[in-house]
Structure 1
Amino acid sequence: MDIAHRLRAALSPYWESSALVIFTEDCTGRPQKKGGAEAIISRVSIAELDALRTPLTGDRSGADGAAWRGEAVFGGELRPVLAVSSPSNALLVLSDPQPGQASGTGPDPQWVLHYLWTMAAERIREKVADAPPSYLIESRAASAERLRVTAELVDRHSTTLETLLAALRSPALADAAARTAATDVAAKALVGLRTLSDRTTDLVEEPVASAFQRLREDLRPLMNFSGIDVQFVEPPVNGRALPGEVAHAARAIVRGLVLAMVDQQGVRRIRTQWDCDGVNLLVNVRDDGPGELSATAPAVARLVQRVEALNGSMGVDVMPGWGADVAVTLPLDPPSRPPADIAGWNLGDRELEVLQLLAAGQRNRGIAAKLHISENTVKFHLRNLYRKIGASSRTEAMALAHSNGLR
């Protein structure tokens, strides 16, 4: 999705910037959308983006697009930034922001920024809600990989910092004041590291109870204005945490089912329930309508595709005159696949390098920069490796690479 580049181009007459980054938790596989200077956007971290949320969270108008302008660490360096929130809790950050040429003659630049960013954030939310199965497969692979890498970093740095703390606390050392100061610094670094780990885990895992609460909030407008009694049966609070893409897909599936049920005549009550057996998320949605919900209707068929993309199953039990009962099972773990012999793909050395960077989430521009080749050369290698591995798209190539151990 090139929404970051398009938004930056649309804003350029009113706000010039060296880089633009969108941070949204709706996209579990790629929470960052970036455009601008590669030297900046390639170094932006989730910790930096989280820090930029802080001056916005205390503003009660944050849901309406609160903005903060100042200096902050962004892309590994202290630089001027402009951060803007959105109703969907997405974050927009411009680095080195300066009023553009149209700022003195056209509409108010701040109004333009708020208007375009609100539309872009809502568009991202809509795209994810209507995501094809291929996106969900890619999202699951990317989420699992991000969690694995973060866990490795946490283990390594935690060991280093804990060893440092043990040494500095040793009574055999002199200069107690220096030891105390160093201990405080190391302890803060350790807390920060573990906070980063927790934050990254939150992007790929969500407690089942909080995921269900977000569903209630999503359906609140329907409850308020439709006159239909939407009932919720809470899941166990101690159930296994849900992978991010499972939680997001489950909410989208329930929303879709509720809307399909509301379209029937005579529906007065809808009951939705989640449960978790440690292996699957079990979803049940039931209405008291005429029992006319069809499993082959386009709206329901699209939901079946979302379920099958996560290797799940959905059954629709229709009882004329009594209503419909829909049961959905979503596995919490991806299906295991035996590793294929990558050598059988007969990739050249450069093609393999391109595929590895593609599997790591790099776009064509980033691959070209890392390999010191042109973007046209990257496209040439991609066409060849698509043919060799039997992929018809970038997403399918990423999924094949992930399933065969390339990260």
Structure 2
Amino acid sequence: MHDVLAVAAQILDGPPDELLHRLSAALKDVIPHRAVAQLASQCATTPVYTYGEPTLARAITGAELAGLLGTVTAGRPWHGVLTIADEEHHALAVASDRAPRGSVLLLLQKNATPDVDALIQPLWDLITIHMYRLTLSGEPSVTAQSRAVAGARFEVAAELGEAHAATLATLLGVLRNQRVDDATARNNAVELALNALSELRTDTRQDQRYHGEEPAGKAFDRLADSLRGLLRHTTVDLELDAPGNDKLVPGELAHSARVAVRSVVLAMLTQDPVRRIRVGWQWDGTDLHATVRDDGPGELNGVLVLGQLSERLRFGDGQLELEAVPGWGLTARIALKASATPQPLEDPLAALGSREIEVLERIAEGSRNRSIADELHISESTVKFHVANILTKLDVATRTQAAALYHATTVA
């Protein structure tokens, strides 16, 4: 424990943007490595940092790290082999749940070092706690805006990637189909490419913009249609279990479920051999559960990409569970929860006392401190004291912002 604390103190003592540099230096003798990377998912602005041999460090992307975050269990460091920059590397990945959305550390080692778990896990937990505290100390409105932008960018990029992956998987299915001749395969491939371009410009965006509700059966039918198109030119049989009820499901939730299921199916198609995929939904009005099963080899090694889906689902308070049974197949269980009904916003002026309200009313009228003091029969220094309290309680920086909030609240 003393060693862990000593190393942690060495790493944490310095500028946050150089933390990974200090971590690498502190571990170089204990865990010899060529590059190190981290994904701190609670940080919306720059969640991914890499450091080490320049070519190798640049090749590590958020996609690999998100995949590890979704599959490596917190408290149980993972040792294995990863392909980065077209080269296999001994890898050590450490996940932590000491922040709301977790974090993961990746070291690309020079040699496998299996006996370092007792050091690296508590060390990474301490660093994760430290990084999370730093994000909490940021200015709230800036942090919230940054997270919202990062979340939207993350979703759009991921879904565009999945759309391209679906197109490529379908094209490969056409070209590999030995039951059709070359001319037919070429014509089918051209048709699929044209349809994919059209859908990319229209259907996907319409799906994303849908914010109403639709019957669960209809939402599932839309998923079934897209999966049939994806598997049409393959030898994989698709089996479907519809929800069994037509309770209304929020459009955004249905869209998220369709995207998640398509991601799982695409990952399953990368395995060989897979001959059957079964997809089912259950919707009880609050939670949507989707189950996807295949009859493939029942191994997780070839579907590490599902870790990226797991991370995206956690971003939206969802969950992905994987169960692989060698020789029997892979089962993916997706759980999504409908957003709670928005609660009415509290009165932002409720925290102000009666005298502070009187001062704020006059600020909103454009009065200066001297005028307010004369009108309320108090000293100017007392007015300044009230103004400072008002700005603090309303979480605004200027009198103008306080006045605008007063007008917006009283008009509402």
| TM-score exceeds 0.5 | no
The normalised TM-score by structure 1 is 0.42
Name which one, 1 or 2, has greater alpha-carbon Rg: 2
User: So what's the TM-score if we normalise by structure 2?
Assistant: 0.41
